[in-house]
Structure 1
Amino acid sequence: MTAQTTPTSLILRKEILGSRRFSNYWWATIISVGAIGFLLAGISSYTKVSLLPFAEPTKLIFVPQGLAMGLYGAAGTLLAIYLWLSVIWDLGGGYNEFNKQTGDIKIFRWGFPGKNRKIELNFKASDVQAVKATLREGISPKRSLYLRVKGMRDIPLTRVGEPLALSELENQAAELARFLSVPLEGL
């Protein structure tokens, strides 16, 4: 999450990294290559025409080996398509904008295509009760920031997936609480 403030420090804007992370590009590429390899091996075992230059899948018996490889390849291809589409659509990406000048807060994220593709929350800064930081350690650690707003559920402000470093979480929480002049909860 990168912060941008105007010279007058009346607007705080934090960009949120969505699914366009290095890890998603990495896994989408690895799964694509593996899935295409399995799919071509399955097709080669059926047609008895080698489609892979580095292997001889024509020697595989189609039932059950070639069929299983083809099914694994098809499933992997579907998973790779989903990963690539989530990267292209930048799911979860967006920004948090806090404007002292107008007293408005805008939380924006990209979602799946459709009528709800743009997820946008607008409310007044005067409705903010606190900035809340949550920490959960263990096998799947969770470190995130929430905005506590009157009449609403806690609104997440940090990206999904990779947990923030503890020092970064503390700094962002303190900066935001100071900017909005509200208490900080959870640390």
Structure 2
Amino acid sequence: MQTRYDLILGSRRFSNYLWTLISFSGGIGFLLAGLSSYLGVQLLPFGNTETIVFIPQGIVMTFYGTIGILLSLFLLLNISLNVGGGYNSYDKSTGAIQIFRLGFPGKRRKILLQYKIQEIKSIKLSIAEGLNPKREIYLQTKDQRQIPLTRVGEPLLLSQIEEEAVELANFLNIPLEGL
């Protein structure tokens, strides 16, 4: 096998779909409760909004509802654009490494980094445990640049990230740092 291709999952993760649904539902609920207090009409199919006074409670609920809906629209935009998604391609026959990621619309929507295997010093594994654990694999070049190869989001299992780093280092026949 001369080529290795790793697909990187971007914003199209289950957690983003879940948070989009939760923030949209909550936003609609708060917005309808705030509008109900302003209009004096029961817009929510459940609950009683007759006791909510528009100033200050209703206006705050309307504001929170609007923010919740805007947040869900932002998450939906991220999901539809697949921000952060892409691939890592390693081709031993040509000696080329390609790292491709999608970003936000604009001049730099598509990011493509290309390296020769000879430019790579090592594969670096960075592990930090604690409240916010960090488990990442980096491609370290000879001029000391570190290019992240792992996806952003929930950290992988320690055994899984170690195995992935070892497999990549063995495939590229370069040293592994950080173990």
Fold conserved (TM > 0.5)?
yes
1:76 to 56, 68, 80: 68
Deviations 1:22-78 (A, max 9, x none): 111111101110011101111111111222111232442110111010011111111
Does 2:36 correspond to 1:44?
yes
Does 2:75 correspond to 1:97?
no
For 1:17, give the aligned amino acid: L
Does 2:13 correspond to 1:21?
yes
Q: 1:120-135 maps to which residues of 2 (within 5 A)? A: 120-135=112-127
Counterpart in the other structure of 2:143: 151
Distance 2:144 2:39 in 1: 59
Unaligned runs of 5+ in 2: none
Does 2:168 correspond to 1:184?
no
CA deviation after TM superposition for structure 1 residue 152, in Å = 5.5
Distance 2:2 2:105 in 1: 33
Distance 1:36 1:58 in 2: 18
* Between 77-86 and 31-40, the greater mean CA deviation after superposition: 77-86
Distance 2:19 2:7 in 1: 24
Aligned-pair identity (%): 54
Does 2:117 correspond to 1:117?
no
For 2:91, give the aligned amino acid: N
Does 2:46 correspond to 1:54?
yes
SS in 2 for 1:57: coil
CA deviation after TM superposition for structure 1 residue 123, in Å = 1.3
CA deviation after TM superposition for structure 1 residue 12, in Å = 0.3
For 1:149, give the aligned amino acid: T
Output the TM-score relative to the length of structure 1.
Answer: 0.92
For 2:155, give the aligned amino acid: P
Output the TM-score relative to the length of structure 2.
Answer: 0.96
* Between 164-173 and 55-64, the greater mean CA deviation after superposition: 55-64
CA deviation after TM superposition for structure 1 residue 168, in Å = 0.8
